[in-house]
Amino acid sequence: MYADISAKSQLDVIRNVASIVRNSALSTPYCFVPRLRVSFKNVDRCLFVIYSDVEKFLRVEFRKESDGIVIKRMMNSYDENDSVAEKIDGTTPISLATSILATAVMDRPLGVLEIEFFDPNPQEQRKIFNEMLKTLQSKIEGFRYYFRPQKFVANCLTDGEIFTSFHEEMLDLIRLKESAMETISMENHSLEPRSLIDTTSFMDDIQVALSGTELFSTKPDERYLSNLMVQALNTDGFATLRFARKSDAGWWNKQKGKVFILNDSVLMKRVTLSDNLVAHWNLSECGLWVDISTLKNERKYWFCFEKEKCGLRSFCQKCAHRFDYWFYRDLPRRIINEPEWVIGREEKKDEKEKSGEEEATDTWEEMEFVDEFDQMEAFGCSAKMEKPIWSERLLKKLI
């Protein structure tokens, strides 16, 4: 397929591609890169995508062939006809990609660094990680390159020890504020996400979503809520379901309980689900989200609940950063644009079976709803907060 591409020297290719990558990064305000995505199909194939703005990105893919490494790059396009290809020998895809990133990107502040593995084998992931680390260490003796993201994201196939190793060896922890492991669940019939499930906990001062973040493109139902309960039981934090569409806010009316003013933007219903689980249904002008936690963690993370004014995160067009809003709404289109770089349903099914997740003992429909809010004071969390100023129009709209 690439037989007609003449081989070039390794140094020339690194300089050429690094120059293109750096120019792409320089085009962003203050040289800030909103997102860097690095994906590993296996040790012989990888890619990175540098996003500079909405619909603006540089995509560079590396593949080992019998006669060398083929580098294929595309700007703001997934069309093969728009690609530029080069060939190099005497190196590996992982080492070459890492060298280019170290030369062109690693001194830049990143919004999000996203790492994707497609082989769940921990030994194979360790090989890739070690090759990256060796390349970074060998650039300048006594000097180590670090990625400088505000948020680090790994996909659901990433081994836990590899996830930790990235923090220990490759990330600037002074700049890092949040880490997550994401599961992207997508279906061919839906081209925009409908809901998001994530868990939140804290490790030192870093907000961590260790139990995973799942994006769904199908309409939320009771199964999602049951999944949320399982995640709440299996985390030292709390689990949240965020509804992408305002039309899904009808779930609010289904919940039995009194309406309380949580802060100047949010109304909340506190619903006791069982002896050990409690749900906070939150509604604002932005939309609906529900937090579920154990009673112990409810008290521990009350400061998170009471200060959040929009729980839709990247789903909110008004509150989210414009790039994040575009990126997550555009994710399901990866099925069309990059079908080879989407985790298959069988891979996800096998991963869930291996994880041995705890099953919920009760279904959502069987839970007894209780509207007791005075328990909050027993938890040491004041329910008598200063009443914010709400407009009559907004109250009528939400209650």
Please classify residue 197 by burial: count the beta carbons closer than 10 Å to its beta carbon, then call 0-12 exposed, 13-18 middle and 19+ buried.
Answer: buried
Q: Tens digit of pLDDT for each residue in 22-65? A: 665 555 555 789 999 999 999 999 999 999 899 999 999 999 99
Beta-carbon-side half-sphere exposure of residue 341 (alpha carbons within 13 Å): 21
Closest residue by Cα to residue 257 from 234, 282, 223: 282
Neighbouring residues of 17: CB distance < 8 A, sequence distance ≥ 6: 60, 71, 73, 86, 100, 104
Residue of 326, 238, 251, 239 whose CA lies nearest to 288: 251
Of 190, 185, 116, 179, the closest CA to residue 150 belongs to: 179
- Report the C-alpha gap between 255 and 82 in whole angstroms: 52
From first to last of its 399 residues, the chain has per-residue pLDDT tens of 444 545 555 566 666 666 766 665 555 555 789 999 999 999 999 999 999 899 999 999 999 998 889 999 999 999 988 888 888 888 899 999 998 898 888 888 999 999 999 999 999 999 999 999 998 886 556 667 899 999 999 998 999 999 999 999 999 988 998 888 887 766 555 667 778 888 888 766 665 654 455 666 667 778 888 889 998 998 889 999 999 888 888 899 999 888 999 999 999 999 999 999 999 999 999 999 999 999 999 999 998 899 999 999 888 999 999 999 999 888 878 888 998 998 764 444 455 555 555 544 433 333 333 333 333 333 344 434 333 333 444 444 444
Residue 240 CA to residue 311 CA, distance in Å, equals 9
SS3 36: strand
Can you name the residues that pair with 270 across neighbouring β-strands? 280
> Which parts of the chain fold into alpha helices (H)?
10-26, 93-104, 122-138, 160-169, 222-233, 251-254, 295-300, 302-307, 322-330, 334-337, 345-355, 375-378, 392-398
Which two structure tokens, joined as six digits, stand for 25? Answer: 């990064």
Cα separation, 212 vs 130, in Å, equals 24
pLDDT of residue 291: 96
Q: What is the pLDDT of residue 90?
A: 84
Backbone angles phi, psi at 88, to 5 degrees: -150, 150
CA 332-334-337 angle, 5° bins = 135
Q: How far apart are CA 20 and CA 52, in angstroms?
A: 13
Task: List beta partners, residue 179.
Answer: 152, 208
298-309 in b/e form (b: 16+ CB < 10 A) is bebbbebbbebe
In this structure, what token pair is assigned to residue 26? 């320089």
Tell me, what's the pLDDT at 387?
36
How many whole angstroms separate alpha carbon 310 and alpha carbon 330?
21
Residue-level pLDDT at 190: 62
Give the pLDDT confidence score for residue 116 in this predicted structure. Answer: 96
Which is it for strands 110-117 and 33-42: parallel, antiparallel or unpaired?
parallel
Give Cα separations from 265 to 268, 325, 356 (angstroms).
10, 21, 39
Q: What is the pLDDT of residue 372?
A: 34
Looking at residue 353, what is its pLDDT? 54
Q: What one-character DSSP code corresponds to residue 363?
A: -
pTM assigned to the model: 0.79
